[in-house]
Amino acid sequence: MSRKQRDVLSVEWVKLELIRTAYATRGGLFARMDPRMVLAWYLLLAIVPWFTHNLVTVIGLFVITAASAALARVGPLVLGLFIIGFVGDFFWAFAAAWLFGGDAGTALALVELNLKLATVSLASIAAFVSLDPESLSTGLLAWRAPELLAFGVSYGYRMMPILFEEFGVVFTGLRLRSAPGPRGFLGWRALLRWGTWAVQAFYPIFLNTAKSVRTTVESLETRGFTANQGRELRISQLRIGVLDVAVVAVTVVAVVGAFELGAVVTLG
């Protein structure tokens, strides 16, 4: 397989992974739950880490969210980006502690902060990759979020495939109209050209996408996305089942267990 074919497959794979993530096509535990309970579960794990400075407790909360991300079937692209950022944050934390004359306490404080951020990030990933646009906007409406916010979420998700397709068409056109040039040392000239084409593609993308805006907005409004009657109609379809209660209850027990474990280890 040639280099050019591998590049095309790589771009297509990234595009498909982003669409799978946005539309929750992988399934998983949280995809079968009521969106209201998924959002409540996320808020629990997003807020709780900031009420403790016990490193053992923070590690326990991180393990809980890591297991939740595995149950949510997070895709390799999102998970890979998270791991790169997670490892990079730890590297810069230790580098900052060493460069600015910090001691072991400074390094541990930075590790604790990074673990808290990683915990919140994993909870966000597990929750939002499990909710499709309909479920997410309905859950926001059920929690009394502004109608325009739910409308914007649904509209934004629906525009993603169009934006990806338009970007591919415009970017390919720019490549075809540009004469090939030298790659430079380690291909830096080629990377520069690709970056330039990516920036130049943004204006035509939004210009072409604007043609679909009016149709999409009218379709969403016709379905009652901005009407009070539409709110009640969509919320009436939600049902909290045994799975929802069980997942939230197990999470609460696990969070309490993490706090208890931290207290025991500290006292011991």
Across the range 108-117, mean pLDDT stands at 87
Distance CA 141, CA 147 (A): 7
Tell me the CA end-to-end span of the chain in Å, nearest whole number: 59
**pLDDT exceeds 80 at position 13:** no
Q: Which of 14-28, 121-135, 229-243 has the highest mean pLDDT?
A: 121-135
pLDDT at 203 over 50: yes
Residues 126, 71: Cα–Cα separation, whole Å = 8
In this predicted structure, the answer to whether residue 21 has a pLDDT above a threshold of 50 is yes
Query: What average pLDDT is seen over the chain?
Result: 79
Q: What is the mean pLDDT of residues 189-197?
A: 79
pLDDT of residue 252: 95
Residue 207 has pLDDT above 70, yes or no: yes
The pTM assigned to this predicted structure is 0.74
**pLDDT-derived band at 172, boundaries 50, 70, 90:** confident
Q: Is 229's pLDDT higher than 60?
A: no
* Burial track 116-131 (b if 16+ CB lie within 10 A, e otherwise): bebbbbbbbbbbbbbb
184 has a pLDDT exceeding 90: no
Is it the case that residue 5 has pLDDT exceeding 60? no
Q: What is the pLDDT of residue 175?
A: 76
Task: With beta carbons less than 8 A apart as the criterion, state whether 154 and 220 touch.
Answer: yes
Which range is least confidently modeled, 3-7, 84-88, 206-210? 3-7
Helical axes 147-177 vs 188-200, angle rounded to 10°:
130
User: Looking at residues 195-207, what average pLDDT do you find?
Assistant: 78
Cα angle 44, 50, 56; round to 5:
95
Task: Give CA–CA dist 103/124, Å, rounded.
Answer: 32
Helix axes 55-71, 35-47, angle to 10 degrees: 160
pLDDT of 122:
92
User: Tell me, what's the pLDDT at 109?
Assistant: 82
The DSSP symbol for 25 reads -
Report pLDDT for 95: 80
d(CA 116, CA 103): 20
pLDDT for position 62: 94
Of all residues in the chain, what percent are helix, strand and coil, respectively (each to 5)? 80, 0, 20
Q: What is the mean pLDDT of residues 96-121?
A: 82
